Structure 1
Amino acid sequence: MNSIEKIYSVSGLNREAGKLLESSFGTISLEGEVSNITFHSSGHIYFTLKDEFAALDAVMFRSSAERLSFRPERGTKLLVRASLSIYARTGRYQLIVRSMKEKGAGSLEEKFLKLKEKLKKEGLFDQENKKQIPAYPRLVGIITSPTGAAIRDILNVMNRRFAGIRVLIYPARVQGEGAAEELSKGLRALNTHYPDMDLIIVGRGGGSLEDLWPFNEEELARAIAASSIPVISAVGHETDVTISDFVADLRAPTPSAAAELVTREKQEVKSEVIKLYSQILSSVLNTLKIYSSRLERESSTAIFKTPLI
């Protein structure tokens, strides 16, 4: 007696295969490098996780992506927790990523939290210790890489908004061994040789946790805290948070944002000057009118009409 062979539909086969994948592997840990990443307007993150020999499509849904403490980029090396699934419509299998962290970030994150707690207890983050950022700086110091994107962004924004502000650039490495030492040396040098400087911007563009690590070093944190000149920390992207951000007198989410914070639009300032001029002129004219009326009244009194002789 011949058994009846089951006939699958394409979508049905994909669903069954997906169930097999999910049940066979469950939740797994996987490491790889990010490529072809897309941040969808829905909040989902679509990317490819690859190594030297192969690549695998991956998706992190909005509910998981909202819990991320960093922004993955092309080239970022990740350690992810994920499950395998087949997208029934196309038959392609993919990773459903539940969580991710930068590879090797675990120990760094632990160091970050320990130092953060230590400096917080010492009062280095206290608002009462923050120096006021001047509204109209005349001389601005910038400590960063002289060849990086950050310095170009800062100068472009400053020139566009209010050209003419004097800028002094102190070149320093912003990643790798010795970077925190150079950044700290720059702060001490500007404080020593330019005590009348209005403010200092310390920062760099985006990167991995390892790239940004000099801005999490205790040496740099204490140099920022010791600065007599107000310091703005401008490190990475908006989602990047460093120890320098907590210690600085003001945190800018990006280098470009730092430039916007220290320079007001020239037209805006011009409009304010015109407005103040109009207010002062109006006040002076009103005062003259009041005293003119008083003089007119007094001159019509008997004492002015009757001579003393």
Structure 2
Amino acid sequence: MSLAEPEILSVTETTRQIKNLVEANFPYAWVVGEISNCTMASSGHVYLTLKDDSAQLRAVIWKRTASRLKFQIEDGMEVVAAGPVEVYQARGTYQLNIEQLIPQGVGALELAFRQMQEKLAAEGLFNPEHKQPIPQFPRKIALVTSPTSAAVRDMLQVITRRWKSADLVIVPVAVQGEGAAEQIAAGIEMAARIPHVDTIITGRGGGSLEDLWAFNEEVVARAIFACPIPVISAVGHEIDISISDLVADRRALTPSEAAELSVPLQSDIQATLTHWQNQLVTNLKQRARQARLQLDAIAGRPAFARPLDMVHQRAAQVDELDRRLKRSTREIMTRFQTETRHLASALDALSPLKVLNRGYSITRKETEDEPSELEIVKSISQVKQGEVLHTFIADGTIVSQIQEIQEGS
């Protein structure tokens, strides 16, 4: 018995048959495993490995699919991945082309929410010090929401009922579906540029987590955080909370509550003004009564009962002070005159003229530089023969010329 000749295949044919066999049997496979070696390429594609305790499977998420994922892919994450298994003939390798990726144990949107919350919290976007106060009396309010929704009608009714003086402007945006997040972010930026807008409300009515998801997108959160105008966020119902709520300057449980938070109740303001007006009138009346009592008390004093008595009393005091002043002046003048006479006598006693009366004389000579000036002669060394001398005696002056000088007494 002869054996049949074996079929010899080329590498290309072998891999082609393997490719056909594998791809025919796994047109869309669901695989559970742990992510490892996760790499984001510059092209936007994500390359990773799915593994369990005894095997590994290479996988890829193309850019278009990766951009639609709501959560961040991380090593160690348990997931269910779905997509076709493809064989790459040129290398003889196969991989799972992931078209769906579902986290194990928690929903994809819930995981994405947690990851975004942790990321923005770490950057400080939720910190209280960044919150701006909501104006108490807004001039213009911008509503960034769907123009046809029940939420916008509720907000318009509440605001116009509570605070008629506020101007309202609607910035129409899509609040769900593809591109909604980008529209909301752009709407917030546009509202901030509208003149005189001092409050912005963004939000929508209730819905599923998927319906509300635009308000959990990072682009909306960063637009709210960067907005120079205070933002009130109102997304869904009381049980719903969004990333926008956490970033906003004020969170409202519903759109209607956001409208209430944005404006005061006009009747409350009127009541407050009336209260303060009445309080002011009461205070003024009370002060007027106190002033009248003080005036009556002052008017009842003796000085005001008989005002001329005080005038006479003050006049008598002035007269007494005048007498004291005159007496003091006379005493001072007398003391001054006495002291002056004493000083004059002492000065006269020291006068050279007194010496002349006792028979003495004073001799002066003319100076060479200034003949009109006379110099007192105290020694014969000061004079010489021929000089002119002036001798002062008690009753006159003797002018003489030196004929001879004799030393000694």
Q: What interval of TM-score do these two structures reach, taking the shorter chain for normalisation?
A: 0.5 to 0.7
Residues in 2 aligned to 1:231 and 1:136: alpha-carbon distance in whole angstroms: 15
Match of 1:23 in 2: none
Give the deviation of 1:139 after TM superposition.
1.5
Match of 1:244 in 2: 244
Residues in 2 aligned to 1:302 and 1:262: alpha-carbon distance in whole angstroms: 64
Question: Is 1:283 equivalent to 2:316 in the alignment?
Answer: no
1:81-121 CA-partner distances (Å, limit 9, x unpaired): xxxxxxxxxxxxxxxxxxxxxxxx82121111111001111
Which stretch shows the higher mean deviation, 161-170 or 213-222? 161-170
| Local SS of the residue matching 1:168 | strand
| Local SS of the residue matching 1:275 | helix
Match of 1:122 in 2: 123
One-letter amino acid matched to 2:229? I
One-letter amino acid matched to 1:157? V
Match of 2:142 in 1: 141
One-letter amino acid matched to 2:161? R
Residues in 2 aligned to 1:178 and 1:280: alpha-carbon distance in whole angstroms: 56
Give the deviation of 1:221 after TM superposition.
0.4
Moved over 4 A (4+): none
Match of 1:32 in 2: none
Residues in 1 aligned to 2:191 and 2:303: alpha-carbon distance in whole angstroms: 69
| Local SS of the residue matching 2:234 | strand
Residues in 2 aligned to 1:145 and 1:241: alpha-carbon distance in whole angstroms: 19
Residues in 2 aligned to 1:302 and 1:140: alpha-carbon distance in whole angstroms: 68
Aligned residue pairs total: 204
Residues in 2 aligned to 1:254 and 1:139: alpha-carbon distance in whole angstroms: 20
In the TM superposition, 1:1-309 aligns within 5 A as 106-194=107-195, 196-304=196-304, 305-307=306-308, 308=311
Give the deviation of 1:137 after TM superposition.
1.9
Give the deviation of 1:159 after TM superposition.
2.3
One-letter amino acid matched to 2:242? T
Residues in 2 aligned to 1:112 and 1:219: alpha-carbon distance in whole angstroms: 14
- 8 Å contact kept, 2:177–2:214: yes
Which stretch shows the higher mean deviation, 276-285 or 128-137? 128-137
Residues in 2 aligned to 1:245 and 1:171: alpha-carbon distance in whole angstroms: 20
Residues in 1 aligned to 2:255 and 2:177: alpha-carbon distance in whole angstroms: 19
What are the ranges of 5 or more consecutive residues in structure 1 without an aligned counterpart? 1-104
What's the TM-score once normalised by structure 2's chain length? Answer: 0.47
Residues in 2 aligned to 1:271 and 1:197: alpha-carbon distance in whole angstroms: 27
Residues in 2 aligned to 1:138 and 1:296: alpha-carbon distance in whole angstroms: 51
Which stretch shows the higher mean deviation, 180-189 or 232-241? 180-189
Residues in 2 aligned to 1:142 and 1:154: alpha-carbon distance in whole angstroms: 9
One-letter amino acid matched to 1:107? A
Match of 2:22 in 1: none
What's the TM-score once normalised by structure 1's chain length? Answer: 0.62
Larger Rg, first or second structure (1 or 2) = 2
Match of 1:89 in 2: none
Residues in 1 aligned to 2:234 and 2:173: alpha-carbon distance in whole angstroms: 14
One-letter amino acid matched to 1:178? G
Match of 1:4 in 2: none
| Local SS of the residue matching 1:220 | helix
1:32-67 CA-partner distances (Å, limit 9, x unpaired): xxxxxxxxxxxxxxxxxxxxxxxxxxxxxxxxxxxx
